[in-house]
Structure 1
Amino acid sequence: MSSTKGQAFLDAFAEKSAKIGNQVHLRSLRDAFATIMPLFILVGIAVLVNAVLFDKIWGANGLAPNAELLTTLQYWGSAIASGTLNISALLLAGMIGYSLARNKRFDNAVACVVISIAAFVIMMPMTVTANLAAGSELITEKITTAEVGGVLSASNTGTQGMFGAITIGLLATTLFIKLSGIDKFAIRLGEGVPPAVEKSFNVLIPIMLTLGTFALAALLLNAIFATDLISLINTWIQAPLRSVVTSLPGLVFVYCLGTFLFTLGIHQSTVTGVLVEPILTIVLLENTTLFQAGQPIPVENYMNMDIINVFALSGGSGCTIALIIATFIWGKYKPSREVAKMSLLPGIFNINEPVIYGYPLVYNLPLMVPFVLCVAVNITVAYLATVAGIIAPCIAPVPWTTPLFLNSFLATGGDVAAVVLQVILLVVDVLLYLPFMKVSEKVFMKQASAESTSDEN
């Protein structure tokens, strides 16, 4: 009876988790990040080329003919950073509008891109504080900054403005789609009109009402509170949420929960993919921006998406590459060894569905323990090693399929100590899996023996 109730609870939990993961706004946020992720991987490569190849290898070892040539060559990477990181919030706002429109099956997704970007810019401050250049005649003992109008600040359009872009992009697109569904607001031009013209006139009034509403909100915030919506979002929503998500206890709990659910057949991304990974990605991109500018990485940014992909999920969810190695060395159950052979190559590229469902790990009680425990240990050790200065902070987005050891080297900007730590963690994970793997094999052997006896009878 209790087993039936337990299964019913798991089924209900799985259904609720699936609903959360498929919620249209969260799904649109995930899709938007997925669309522009290649740009962030490109800028990670560009930053690494500038910092590792040109600075550490050429510059530090005196291989470059002169410093001027190095600066010239680094222009390529800097240009890519300007076209990606510095406008990342604008790109994200537009793709959120597009993704939400597609997921809601709205027939004018392009208009939603325009609305999201326009609303986002409307909510930005109309003046920014600029530091006066050294040697400027305007600088006095008391005046070193000036208010400048007619410009967009990279602090709003870049990585620091991404959370504002998420909020405003979702709100503006949702409002626009609802207004567009009101027939009275549609302007019909009749037959013979080009489709693009007809679509633009159909949404003319909804566009004006949506952007007019956001402009009114910007006016009220500026006139009454002398602030803007992006600043309020960063202060009252982003900062508290980030402090929870990027804390060691918070992240360990979330990823251990997600990993545990994987052992019950509920994919980990249902919990982590839509709730915490966008925030961790934003933090990582901030690190890329700071690293590219030659600025130090703050401690609060040490916990980011690379810590998870490179160290916590080494070889895939649950660090199953360690289970594969343990099975190769000490495994005696032939079916498990066959699965390990097939799973090794995908595991090197952090793809572990073959071992998850083939070994299997799903509903395998002995292996549930190390599957979750390895994640907690790896997150904790990698974070503490970064805080202690043993390894460099993660600063470059790398594809999650980047092979083991290469991913840690690239993610930390060429830090060999990070590779050594990844090797140590892999050894620890193998030792954690070993006793539970032996128990699991004994269970499999007993089940196989029982089935064989049953067949003979």
Structure 2
Amino acid sequence: MTKFNDFFNKLLDPFLRLVNTKAMLAIKDGFLLTMPITLVGSLFLLIANFPIPQWDQWMSNIFGSDWSAPLNQVAGSTFDILALVAVLGISYTYAKNEKVDPISTAILSLVSFLVLTNSFVTTESGETVNGVIPKGWTGGNGIITAIIVAIVVAKIFVFFIKRDIRIKMPDTVPTGVSNAFSAMIPGVTVMLGSMVVYAITSKFVGLSVTELIFKLLQTPIQNVSDTLAGGLFITFLMSILFWAGIHGPNIVMGIMGPILTANALDNQKIIDSGQELIIGENTKIMTVQLIDVFAKFGGQGITVGLLIAALLFAKSKQLKEISKLSIVPSLFNINEPVIYGLPIVFNPIMLIPFILVPITAVLITYGAIIVGFIQPFTAVQVPWTTPPLISGFLLSGWQGLVVQLTIILASTGIYYPFLLKQDKQFLLQEKEMEELNKNEEINTTLVSESTI
């Protein structure tokens, strides 16, 4: 086992060096700042599209045919600025970690993003409307550009400040004023560079930088992520990292979360345009909801199935106690107690089911979408602590509940034989411990008697 761990760690080292770079940490932590607006937007979007038959008709009868317009206005005002929030959050986080002025860095990143994005839109009649910020590029379509701009601008700002290339003010000047003057030289550099890049791409390619990056990078990455193989690999990577003691979901979804979110927003745009989602033509199947709500509910590895099996069949004291302590947190998608308490980390018995169960969940959910049992996911999301079955129902109605229930049953069945083996091992350990304690008690008694 020690040799296997050493070999495994050697394989992980290059990956960990990558994900622990300053840029990757900023992307992971910075994108989390988009969560509040996406969850709030999802709440309003959920009310507008509640998964109950005749819901729209009931609400129309009460509030009128355009009852959902204000709700959609809120949803659109959150999801359609996702790239703007991401560029602010990522650059702010990078600068904060480097201990330079994060506010100035974030503002410069936002300005750079806007410089690189067209400030006009073309109507269906061919008329050009100037002086606007096109929301088509400030939402999901601009995610990759936002990430690149945030990191590049933050690095430039840090470069100038840490080398003291700035306008210095006397110590008596207020900090806010001093920071503003310090940001002028890197600010001019960033804006000038952004202008030059925008001019080049517009003249020679006929596209803004945001459009070009979307075409060359984001679309291929989204297409790769929107495959069954892509979803299975994401799930496998999260499980194997967590088994190795590294929080795989945080690392992997910190990188893939923006892409999978963009997939869901693409589906929402199709719905908003009045079109129907058609599998195999215009629909993204692999989205952030499929991973978060169906492939890792109850925590990575869907260990709720393990806990159910333990509560029903475990005989060892250790498994019984761990399952009792872990079941309630697991219902709210927190499974660290069982991950580290059983433990599952570096436990060879639990490696196979811990990887196999989420993969099975992806296959079940993917298949349910393909056959039309549940609809592809759109912008609606639920808070990550929403209990299983409830989260499935909120996203996909009773069909989503059924899919999650099926996954729970599959999880319980897959974990069962491995649980029995683990339980048997614990029973042997407990028996050895009892015999050891008895021998110690006998020895203690004999020593006491001999003393008397």
TM-score by length of 1: 0.88
1:337 corresponds to: 320
Give the one of 178, 185, 199 matched to 1:219: 199
- Supply the distance in 2 between the matched residues of 1:198 and 1:446 (Cα, whole angstroms): 68
Q: Report the more deviating stretch, 170-179 or 321-330.
A: 170-179
- The match for 2:140 is 159
More displaced stretch, 283-292 vs 419-428: 283-292
- State the secondary structure of the residue aligned to 1:128: strand
Counterpart position of 1:365? 348
Q: Are the structure 2 counterparts of residues 4 and 431 from structure 1 closer, same or farther at C-alpha, using a change threshold of 3 Å?
A: closer
The aligned residue for residue 112 of structure 1 is: 105
What secondary structure sits across from 1:398 in the alignment?
Answer: coil
Please tell me whether the aligned partners of residues 29 and 254 of structure 2 are also in contact (alpha carbons under 8 angstroms): no
Partner of 1:140: none
Residue 22 (structure 1) aligns with: 20
Q: Give the match for residue 384 of structure 2.
A: 400
Partner in structure 2 of residue 431 of structure 1: 413
Q: Which moved more, 1:56-65 or 1:329-338?
A: 56-65
- Aligned-residue CA RMSD in angstroms? 2.3
Residue segments in structure 2 that go unaligned for 5+ positions in a row:
441-452
**Seq. identity, %:** 27
Does 2:398 match 1:416? yes
Q: After the TM superposition, which residues 284-323 of structure 1 pair with which residues of structure 2 at under 5 Å, given as runs? A: 284-291=264-271, 294-297=274-277, 299=279, 300-323=283-306
Tell me whether 1:181 sits opposite 2:162 in the alignment.
yes
User: How far apart, CA to CA, are the structure 1 residues paired with 2:72 and 2:265?
Assistant: 15
* Structure 1, unpaired ranges of 5+: 132-143
Corresponding residue for residue 430 of structure 2: 448
- Deviation, 1:58, is 4.8
- In 2, the alpha carbon distance for the partners of 1:281 and 1:94 equals 17
Q: Could you state the TM-score of these two structures normalised by the residue count of structure 2? A: 0.89
C-alpha spacing 1:447/1:363, structure 2 compared with 1 (3 Å): farther
- 2:448 aligns to what? none
Deviation by residue 1:21-58 (Cα, 9 ceiling, x = unmatched): 322111111112211201100110100111228x9555
Instruction: Assess if the C-alpha contact under 8 Å between 1:364 and 1:440 holds in 2.
Output: no
Residue 89 in structure 1 maps to residue 76 in structure 2: no
User: Residue by residue, what CA displacement relative to the aligned partner does 1:78-131 show, whole Å, maximum 9, x if unpaired?
Assistant: 23124211222112111122111112221x111111111111111112432222
Structure 1 letter corresponding to 2:209: L
* 1:216 Cα deviation from its structure 2 partner: 0.6
- The 3 A distance-change label for structure 1 pair 356 and 65 is closer
**Aligned residue-pair number:** 435
Mapped to 1, the partners of 2:80 and 2:257 lie a distance apart of 21
Instruction: Find the counterpart in structure 2 of residue 138 from structure 1.
Output: none
Task: String of CA shifts for 1:309-345, please: whole Å, max 9, x gaps.
Answer: 1111121111100011111222222220111111111
CA contact (8 A) 2:237 2:252 kept: no
C-alpha displacement at 1:63, in angstroms? 7.0
1 CA distance for matches of 2:98 and 2:254? 17
Q: Is the 8 A contact 2:90 2:147 kept in 1?
A: yes
Relative to 1, partners in 2 of residues 1:211 and 1:328: Cα closer, same or farther, differing over 3 Å? same
Question: How much has 1:271 moved relative to structure 2?
Answer: 4.5
Q: Distance in 1 between matches of 2:374 and 2:207?
A: 40
CA distance in 1, matches of 2:324, 2:392: 24
**Residue 33 of structure 2 contacts residue 86 of structure 2 at CA under 8 Å; is this kept in 1?**
no
Q: Distance in 2 between matches of 1:254 and 1:82?
A: 29
Which of 199, 205, 208 is residue 228 of structure 1 equivalent to?
208
